Amino acid sequence: MIIILLVVALARPQSGKAHSKVTTEGIDIILALDVSGSMLAEDFNLDNKRRNRLYVAKEVVKDFIEWRENDRIGMVVFGGASYTQCPLTLDYDVLLQFLEKVEIGMVEDGTAIGSAIGVCVSRLKSSKAKSKVVILLTDGRNNAGGIDPLTAAELAKTFGMKIYTVGAGTKGLAPYPSKNLFGLKTYRSIQIDIDDEGLTEIAKITGGKYFRATDTASLKEVYKQIDNLEKTKMEEAKYTEFSELFMYLLIPALGIFLFEVVLANTKFRRIP
């Protein structure tokens, strides 16, 4: 009996049942952020504190990254020039570290929207993803770089890319921080012109959409809408969850073995 139980236990019998598991097919997303000087304008509020446009944009983008799953996400920053801050990656922790390092002055001043789109195209053109998306946030109009934004949008379209454009901040006069003679923080009003028409056309060319955000709540809503518009396709896969049963056989076998050892060393060790 002991031998039979041990043999069966060593075979590791299992029980289990099939479950359905949802998996996703990710998309490729490039987040393009304007880091020109005008993004220092403090016409946003967050946690009851006046914040500049870039600060709030980074907080909202951080939330957007955390909403996504199984997508490769990269980042491009632009001012008077554009460059890749983070290549496409599935490692969101690394991406968030690069996001933290984004600041005003990391590139020359200006607003090179066309160049920014060009860098995004160079990052996405070889992508095998079924959906390729650019989310471009700016508070100005193209005034730098050697690429026309609409030409860049047409190029993005040929590679199957969709561009969502976001105009951030109030249009016209905006509070801009400065310091007085005593080194204290003050504000002066500066004129900022957001190119609503151009940003709308960029989105239209590529099948995307233009969003306008004048405060923190509306900016959060913009990225939430984009998150909902760009949900990945779902498909079911099967896997089986097993439970080990060998212990139910091993324990009785050990019990019988110990019983026989005890029995062999008692007066009942011989049974006629």
Give the pLDDT score at 181.
Answer: 87
Q: CB–CB of 208/229 below 8 Å?
A: no
Query: Which neighbouring-strand residues pair with 74?
Result: 30
Give per-residue pLDDT as tens, 241-266: 545 554 555 565 555 655 565 556 66
Distance, CA of 130 to CA of 128 (rounded, Å): 6
In this structure, is the dihedral angle defined by the CA atoms of residues 22, 28, 34 and 35, taken in order, positive or negative? Answer: positive
Give the pLDDT score at 65.
Answer: 98
Across the range 201-218, mean pLDDT stands at 98
Give per-residue pLDDT as tens, 66-109: 999 999 999 999 999 999 999 999 999 999 999 999 999 999 99
Give the pLDDT score at 231.
Answer: 75
Give the pLDDT score at 182.
Answer: 87
Q: Which residues lie below 8 Å from residue 243, measured CB to CB, with a gap of 6+?
A: 14, 15, 16
Third-level CATH fold of 26-232: Rossmann fold (3.40.50)
Query: Angle at Cα 84 formed by Cα 133 and Cα 28, nearest 5°?
Result: 25
Parallel, antiparallel, or unpaired for β 72-78 and 185-192?
A: unpaired
Stretch among 35-39, 207-211, 233-237 having the lowest mean pLDDT: 233-237
Distance, CA of 35 to CA of 104 (rounded, Å): 5
Give the pLDDT score at 232.
Answer: 64
Burial of 38 (0-12, 13-18, 19+ CB in 10 A): buried
Give the pLDDT score at 240.
Answer: 46
Distance, CA of 73 to CA of 127 (rounded, Å): 12
**Which sequence spans correspond to the domains of the chain?**
2-22+243-264, 26-232
Give per-residue pLDDT as tens, 135-168: 999 999 999 999 999 999 999 999 999 999 999 9
Higher pLDDT: 263 or 111? It is 111
Q: Answer yes or no: is pLDDT of 55 > 80.
A: yes
Give per-residue pLDDT as tens, 4-13: 544 444 455 5
